[in-house]
Structures are given as structure tokens and as C-alpha cells.
Amino acid sequence: MARFEHAQDIKVGIIGYGGAFNMGKGHMSQLIAQGATPVAVAEPDAARRAVAAEEFPGIETYASGKELLEKSDANFIAIITPHNTHFELAAECLKAGRSVCCEKPLAVTTAHCRELIKLADENNVLLTTYHNRHWDGGICKAMDFVKQGLIGEVVRVDVRTGGHRCPGKSWRGSKSISGGLLYDFGVHFTEYALQLLDDEMVEIFGWARCGYWNDKSPWGDDVNEDEAMAVVRFRGGALYTLRMTSLDPEVDPYSVKVTGTQGTILFSPHGNYRLVSIQHGEKLIAEGQEPPPQWHRFYENVVDHLVNDADLVITAAYATRCIHVLELAGRSAREGRTLPTEMG
């Protein structure tokens, strides 16, 4: 894969500057902090293009990703758009010889992820996914505990999260656009599990309940599932369960539970942790505030990979495993049967 001599040789383009959380500014700022050069933003909303020009003086602005690719010399593109647009936009960028970082999820299907990996290889460019929460404080703390042997061998990871809320006007409430209830924060939780359970996946069971919000949400019959679940069995016998809900008004204060042969870790993306460890027959309990997230490490690693050939932490193949879990869970729910995985 092509490398850059210096970080400033990485010329950054952003496709998608609207939406919540000001993510476009966040991506550009993090890349600038690593020494990359801001070049261009593509965004159909003229008001958001004006904001980008104000936040990054001198930057080029375009109304579409196609225009950016035709007129800009940006060689690294961050895609920050609704989930169902990721595949087409990323494919266009890769075919144009640009390296790509796609907001999670990389795509909605395993086949699309594999096609993007093929295009990146054919065009000798980088493809990665913005799994910044790989460095959330809670999962980093949990991984430290696991590496210290404080809970023994990990045998199960359980995630339970959500609330009682009707999906609103945001595209994230649309199944056809978002991919479904599991595809938003569920992809982050699944990435947590793949850190904790470093083993081959064997089979996946999915379940979903639909219908309650259909006549209450602006999305009607295209609204996300009321609840959805994925259960993944690994070759060594470990289990990962994920349940996302928009029905349950009473959710656990700790959304992630990691059970091992000698203890349990509980944490959530931002909050407190609780460790219960069995040492020499005695129960030891430790509680505290999770350390702050280290999201800067994502682009720190990407730039180090592009300039110094450092190992890439979030490879496209790794990100595809997350999508495979969510896609097969949806298929399993529709077909009413457990499905074997097509990739470990």
C-alpha cells in the first residue's frame, strides 16, 4: 500500500459535514492534530458548507463527494454520512485512488465490506473504519483487568442497553437507512466483544420484535425494530449476547458485563466500573470512575501506519467481523434459525 513521507502529505477531505455531534469538525480536527493537512469538505447543505469554511479557513467546499473527487487533490477521505450511503461513497473514493476512513459501520452487509476491501487492495490505498470507541475508558479498563488475569478466562460478554423511546425524525430511526436497531451503538458494543473474545466465531442467533412504534414514529413501517438481539457462539465455547431495546424503561446502570472463570467486570461506555474478582477463595471488589476515552489514538495510529508503516489497529477485515455479526443476527431473526458464520 502507498505510504506518505510526512504526515502533512496526507491531504484530508471530508464527505458529510451535517448531522449531530459536529462529527465533521471532529474528524478534521483530530487529523490536523496528527499533522495532516485539511483540504476539502463536501456537503449538500449550503449552510453547513459555510460552517466548515468558517471553522477551517481556506478550505475548499463542494456540494457533493463526486465534485470533491473531481476537483480536489485530497488523498485521504473521511466519510461521515448515513449508513446506507457508506458503500457507494467509499467505492467511488477507492476507485479514484483515495484512502478512506468510513464512519462506522463500514457498510450494512458483509458482501459490501468485502467488495470495499477488494477495491482498496486493487487501488493500493488504505481502508479503515472509525472505531474510535476501541479506546473508550470502560473497555480499556476491562482489557487491563483481563490481561492482568483478574477474572480468569473470559467466557461470556453480555450487553443490555436502550430505553423506552420512540424513534424520532433522525435517519438513525429508519431501518432502511441505518440498517436497524443493532447497527448504531450496537456496532461499538460488538467491537468491544471482539476485543474481549479473541476467537473464531462459529454461529449466530438473532431475534427481533417489531410493530409497536410503527404508527407512532415518522418512519412508519420503515422504523427500526422495537427490540433486537444477537447471540454469538465462539469456537472455544465463549458467548457474546447483545440486546438493544426501545421498549424497556428500566435498563441496567452497567450496560456491559464481562464474566470470566474467576470474576466479573461491569462497565458502560461512559461511567463507572465494578470489578468482582475471586482471588485465593476470597471475593475482592474494586469500583471507580472509568478513565477518560483516548479517541485521538485512532487517527494517531492511522497516520503512523500511513507514514511509518506501523501496524493498523482497525483493519477493514476486523471491522467487517462486526458487520457480519449484525447482518447474520438480522437474517437469523427473519428466518427463525441459528446461522453458521461465513467468516471467523
Task: Kindly report the CATH number assigned to the domain that includes residue 327.
Answer: 3.30.360.10
- Same domain, yes or no: 183 and 255: yes
Does residue 32 sit in the same domain as residue 95? Answer: yes
Residue whose entry in the numeric block shows the C-alpha cell 446506507: 84
Residue 214 lies in a domain: yes
Q: Do 24 and 52 belong together in one domain?
A: yes
Q: Pick from 130, 150, 181: which residue ends a domain? A: 130
Q: What is the mean pLDDT of residues 75-98?
A: 97
**Could you report the per-residue pLDDT of 256-294, keeping only the tens digit for each?**
999 999 999 999 887 899 999 999 989 999 999 999 999
| pLDDT computed for residue 231 by the predictor | 98
Q: Residues 14-55: pLDDT tens digits?
A: 999 986 678 999 999 999 999 999 999 999 999 999 999 999
Give residue 250's pLDDT: 86
Choose the final residue of a domain: 90, 111, 130: 130
Give the structural domain span for 333.
Answer: 136-293+323-340
56 and 175 part of one domain: no
Beta bridge partners of 77: 13, 100
Question: Is 140 found in the same domain as 126?
Answer: no
- Is the residue at 315 inside a domain? no
Asked whether residue 96 falls in the same domain as residue 43, the answer is yes
Considering the domain boundaries, does residue 287 fall inside one? Answer: yes
Which triple of cell numbers denotes residue 244?
A: 438493544
**195 and 163: one domain?**
yes
Number of compact structural domains in the chain? 2
Asked which of 103, 130, 157 is the last residue of a domain, the reply is 130
Q: What is the DSSP code string of 164-219?
A: S----SSGGGBHHHH--GGGSHHHHHHHHHHHH--S-EEEEEEEEE--SSTTTSTT
Is the pLDDT reported for residue 251 higher than 90?
no
Report how far residue 36's alpha carbon sits from residue 296's, in angstroms, rounded to the nearest whole number. 13
Residue type present at position 139: I
Residues 242, 264 within the same domain: yes
Residue 253 has pLDDT above 80, yes or no: no
Question: Do 262 and 158 belong together in one domain?
Answer: yes
- Residues 214 and 105 placed together within one structural domain of the fold: no
Cβ(116)–Cβ(95) under 8 Å?
A: no
Q: Which helix (H) or strand (E) holds 122?
A: helix 110-122
Give me the CATH number covering residue 28: 3.40.50.720
The residues, ordered by sequence, that sit 6+ positions from 151 with a Cβ below 8 Å of its Cβ are 145, 258, 259, 260, 261, 262, 263, 264, 265, 275, 277
Model confidence band, residue 1 (pLDDT cutoffs 50, 70, 90): confident
Mean pLDDT of the chain: 96
312 in a structural domain: no
What pTM, to 2 d.p., does this model score? 0.95
Do 79 and 168 belong to one domain? no
Residue 299 belongs to some domain of the structure:
no
Residue 316 covered by a domain: no
Query: 2 in a domain, yes or no?
Result: no
Same domain for 150 and 269 = yes
